[in-house]
Structure 1
Amino acid sequence: MLLHDNPFWRFSLSLYQLKRIKDACLQLQDDSGANINLVFFAIWTAQQRLRFSPDWRNSFIQFENWHRDYTLQLRRQRNELKLIAEKADRNEDGPLHRMREHIQKAELLAEQQEQAVLYFYYQERQGLLDCENREAALIENLAHCFDDPRLVEDEPLKVLLNIMLDERDVELTSVRLREYLEKRFIRQQGTNPTT
């Protein structure tokens, strides 16, 4: 049974209410294609001294399918409808704007479903391993959230690192994360020559 109101969901809501974190998340989502629910899970599990296992993608397949089939589709519809509504519906309370609001609510519910699935993985320790070093877990977990480090800006990463780390540690950890991202990307390119 999935718990939709769980500690991870409340953690994410409390973070997303902070403008600097919301802005950083939207930048990473829009510019690098990051799944912000996975980013928050990476941070939250690192706080719990857990890191993603090497086969985490196989373990998180239900989450990734849901994200692709529902959350991203609703987000695409919401964004497209925004443009259509702005051109066709001068009244901000018009039918197209109201329709967009309904889609936005459905998108939020889809994201809550994603988080409930991730919380289930946490409860079952599915795709997760113990890790004594929280900073190492944070770097490894976040590195799995981005496919191409060339699309990831440093500033939003630093905002997210600051959630868990002291200001004095953010810069050094940011450099370590960047190095880890780039090494991982090079390894993936070497094993997948078609990209």
Structure 2
Amino acid sequence: MPTDLWRFAETLYQRPGVEAACLQLQAQGADVCVLLCAAWLERRQVACTEERTEALRALAQPWQQQVVVPLRQLRQSWRELAQSDNALTQLRDQVKKLELAAEREQLERLEACTQDWSNGVANAPPNWLERLAPQPGNRDALQTLRIAAAHLSA
């Protein structure tokens, strides 16, 4: 299993079903970077506490709303027009690269936030995904992430 969050997220996202689960959760308001971090923390058996979940939310929310979402919205708004405009297709690809770079930066910030969190605190289950998902009703998508993360090579 990759030890740093960025490589873990890249590897996990390529697993069957994970991209679809992430997009489904994102459509429901989830911050996919936060959920990938949650899967990483669960895989590392880091205890999930209210203080820690709030720290991740407080760190991620401004970056997501001020940087990642505007880039994503711009890229998505150009999807249809770019099909018939080569120059716009190239610009859209550049925006997509910026969006990915912004997500990577967010993951690096999330990882830095968790740097001092110990693994395996007794009596504290690592239920990060449920605690950080926007809606507890999407258990199938969360379970897809959890199972895929559990099956990453150690």
TM-score (norm 2): 0.82
What's the % identity of the aligned pairs?
A: 24
Aligned residues: 148
**1:65 & 1:51 partners in 2: Cα distance?**
24
Q: Deviations over 1:134-155 (max 9, x none)?
A: 8x31xx31112222334x2x43
Letter in 2 for 1:26: L
* Correspondence list, 1:58-137, <5 A: 58-60=54-56, 61-86=58-83, 90-91=84-85, 94-125=86-117, 130-132=120-122, 136-137=125-126
**2:7 & 2:95 partners in 1: Cα distance?**
22
Deviation at 1:58, TM superposition (A): 4.4
Deviation at 1:83, TM superposition (A): 2.6
**2:53 & 2:42 partners in 1: Cα distance?**
17
Q: Helix, strand or coil: the match of 2:114? A: helix
CA contact under 8 A between 2:33 and 2:106: conserved in structure 1? Answer: yes
**2:93 & 2:121 partners in 1: Cα distance?**
41
Report the equivalent of 1:156.
141
Report the equivalent of 2:131.
144
Letter in 1 for 2:70: Q
Q: Deviations over 1:39-78 (max 9, x none)?
A: 1111111122213321235423232211110011111111
**2:35 & 2:20 partners in 1: Cα distance?**
14
Letter in 1 for 2:11: S
Q: Helix, strand or coil: the match of 1:55? A: helix
C-alpha change, 1:46 and 1:58, in structure 2 (3 Å) is: closer
**2:48 & 2:70 partners in 1: Cα distance?**
26
**1:159 & 1:144 partners in 2: Cα distance?**
16
C-alpha change, 1:56 and 1:83, in structure 2 (3 Å) is: farther
Q: Which runs of 5+ in 2 are unaligned?
A: none
TM-score (norm 1): 0.66
Q: Helix, strand or coil: the match of 1:123? A: coil
Give the number of the structure whose alpha-carbon radius of gyration is greater.
1
Higher relative contact order (CA 8 A, sep 6+): 2
Q: Helix, strand or coil: the match of 1:113? A: helix
Letter in 1 for 2:38: A
Q: Which runs of 5+ in 1 are unaligned?
A: 1-5, 167-195
Q: Helix, strand or coil: the match of 1:163? A: helix
**1:143 & 1:10 partners in 2: Cα distance?**
22
Aligned-CA RMSD value:
2.4
CA contact under 8 A between 1:49 and 1:132: conserved in structure 2? Answer: no
Letter in 2 for 1:147: P
